[in-house]
Structure 1
Amino acid sequence: MRRRLTLNRGQRSLLVVCLVAIVIHLIPLLLPRNEPEQQLAIARAMSTVSQRVPFLRPLKDDSKATPAELREAATLLLDGAPDDAHTLALEAERRNPQEVETQLLLARICDVERMSRCVSTALSRAESLAPADARPDVLRAELLEKDGDVTGAAAAMERAHGKAPEDPLIGLRYVRLLSEARRGEEALAVLRKLEGRVPHARLLVEQGRVHSREGHDAEAVKLFRAAVAEDPKLGVGYFELGLAWHRLGRPDRAEEALRQADRLDRTDPKALAALCAIQLKERRIDDARLTRMDLERRFSGQPELIRQSCSIP
């Protein structure tokens, strides 16, 4: 009798748990589906853009959808359904023409659609709406760099840096573009002004990168070594050190630094990919095969990266 009572209690507990689980899963279905927030919640849970479209497209005609909700909906559709994203963004603009965020989103959408005049118009509107806001210049720099115009990107980032000189992320991006535009002395001057706002070890890495782009790898190695000595967990420091050692013709030290970079960040395939490329360049085919096996085992979801960096002959 006692055993049967215990069993019944266990069955009742299990039944309660099952009922609670069912209720939790039914709640989203019972909520009103015409609510923009609900539509967005459902769309976020979808894994593909084609699945999201039926839930988000109707928001254009929903008077309760805010411009922010319309922008989020457009962002969720940007990669795969740019036409629908554009329609939603234009509706957000119609409901509130004064929001810079909408113009920035329109510029991104127009870039995906390869509508250069539309990109320029949206960025110009964003700049006129908020003349002191650095974001339009940052986005302009990003799009120009993507199109291969490093000089134009550096000029746009110079304007962004002038509007937000205290922002270390903008400062570092400006430094990189100056360096890529072969304006190394200016890049180093900007880095000096970032002291105190960026960790010193990271500043050393950025200084080393500038010297590397100028072809001064011996000086770059000194800076990278100083960076990892100051912060032994700075994976990017070991990565750059490995590349610099390779350019200086020291494959043993290059491999040691790249493997340490890989140990510090096991989620990033960059160090192993660089190592494999170096091994192939040095005709160390057997070593490259082992490195490729490691890449395939740990980063099977990135076959294109493996193919490009570690294609065994």
Structure 2
Amino acid sequence: MGDASMTRGETGTGQRRRWRDPGLPGVLALCGVAVLIHIIPLLLPRNMPEQELAIARATPDPAHRVRFLLPLKNNEKSTPANLREAAELLLSGAPAEAHELVEEADRRHPEDMETLLLMARVCDVERMERCVQQSLERAEKAAPTDPRPQLLRADLREQNGDVEGATQALQRAHAQAPTDTFLALRYGRLLSRTGKPEEAMAVFRAMEGKLTHARLLVEQGLVRAKEGRDRDAVKLLQEAVQSDPKLAEGHFELGLAWFRLGNEIAAEDALRQADRLDVSNQEPLATLCALQLKTGQIEAARTSRMDLERRFPQRMDAIRERCTLP
């Protein structure tokens, strides 16, 4: 009797174990079901642009997206927004096909600002300068008071090394939108880069009340630093960090200015303060490490690098490039 009970108990346990552990065939069956769930939608008839766009977004290689996206050109249900998104998804790997899609968006909705701006970007990737200019001119004509065509013109010219042309485009954009803080900042910085410090300072002074006083002082300090007037830069940056002691950018730029003036102790203090205020940013400590190497403080640099590697293990390559120990 006892043996029979034991046998039944063992049999029940074995059944439960087999239920819990389906074995390799069961695992393969489950995997097959999962694969089918993902493949079946691809085999079903599709004529909605959103379906093709969703598949293309999940396809990492732009060249492989073409077969899903190019047919949208002939799909009557494709909106200009659908066609623009498809062109964006193809831009980095298949610019010719992106061009076809954005041309179709333009045909369906002529003079649309978003389409014309995208057309200019596509043409720039294709090195079609005449097409770039025509697209931007059409965009400017379609919306004479919109600064975006000039802003894109500035972007493209700066990318191609034409800083003077970028500055002129930003000047026009700034005139169209004088209250736009982003435009004013970028315009002032480019004026400084092109050797027009007083014009840059005038732009920043006109921004009083739109940015904090401390941030404006940092921008003005950078203009003076660009001129080589580091003593004036230090005064402005010191005033900035006194106005806002938690402004990490101010301490960082102050550290660089002090170093250029030869005050290594003050430079290190400012950079360490910037590091304490923004522990997620590796730049202050990496800069300190580079400066320590430059002045022959090898052991100090070694300590800084160890701290960087401990805090930013995912950025080892960048750290080693910035702080290369002998």
Q: Provide TM-score, normalisation by structure 1.
A: 0.82
Aligned to 1:189: 202
1:107 equivalent in alignment to 2:120: yes
Alpha-carbon distance in structure 2 between the residues aligned to 1:32 and 1:232 = 62
8 A Cα contact 1:40 1:55, kept in partner: yes
Q: Spell out the pairing of 1:133-148 with structure 2 (5 A cutoff).
A: 133-148=146-161
Give the 3 Å change call, closer, same or farther, for CA 90–297 of structure 1 in structure 2.
farther
Query: 1:113 & 1:304 partners in 2: Cα distance?
Result: 33
| Alpha-carbon separation, structure 2, partners of 1:49 and 1:125 | 28
Equivalent residue for 1:34, pick from 47, 64, 85? 47
Please say which of residues 218-227 and 160-169 is displaced more in the overlay: 218-227
**Higher mean displacement: 109-118 or 151-160:** 109-118
1:1-313 equivalence runs, <5 A: 33-50=46-63, 52-299=65-312, 305-306=318-319, 308-313=321-326
Name the CA distance, whole Å, in 2 between partners of 1:148 and 1:186.
21
Q: Which residue of 2 aligns with 1:21?
A: none
Distance in 2 between residues matched to 1:143 and 1:124, nearest whole Å: 14
- Cα deviation for residue 159 of structure 1 reads 0.5
Q: Which amino acid aligns with 1:207?
A: Q
Letter in 2 for 1:144: R
Amino acid corresponding to residue 268 of structure 1 in structure 2: N
Shift of 1:59: 2.1
Structure 1: stretches of 5+ with no match in the other structure: 1-23
2 CA distance for matches of 1:33 and 1:299?
46
Partner secondary structure for residue 121 of structure 2: helix
Q: 2:174 & 2:57 partners in 1: Cα distance?
A: 34
The Cα RMSD (Å) is: 2.9
CA distance in 1, matches of 2:54, 2:224: 48
Q: Would the aligned equivalents of 1:142 and 1:153 in 2 still touch at CA under 8 Å?
A: yes
Q: Distance between the aligned counterparts of 1:128 and 1:177, measured in 2?
A: 26
Structure 1 residues 190 and 50, CA gap change in structure 2 (3 angstroms): same
Which one-letter code corresponds to 1:34 in the other structure?
N
Normalized against structure 2, the TM-score is what? 0.79
CA shift at 1:135, angstroms?
0.9
Counterpart of 2:265 in 1: which secondary structure?
A: helix
Provide, for residues 117-151 of structure 1, a one-character-per-residue CA deviation record: whole Å limited to 9, x for no partner: 22222222221221211111111112222222222
Distance 1:199 1:28 in 2: 53
Deviation of 1:48 after TM superposition, in Å, equals 4.3
Change (3 A) 1:173 1:293: same
1:293 CA displacement: 4.0
Summarize deviations over 1:43-66 as a string: whole Å, max 9, x none: 334444345444333322222121
- Aligned pair count? 292
Shift of 1:25: 8.8
Percent identical residues: 60
Q: CA deviation at 1:297?
A: 4.8
Bigger CA radius of gyration: 2
Per-residue deviation, residues 185-216 of structure 1 (Å, max 9, x unmatched): 11111111111112222111111111111111
Matched-pair contact (CA < 8 Å) for 2:111–2:138: no
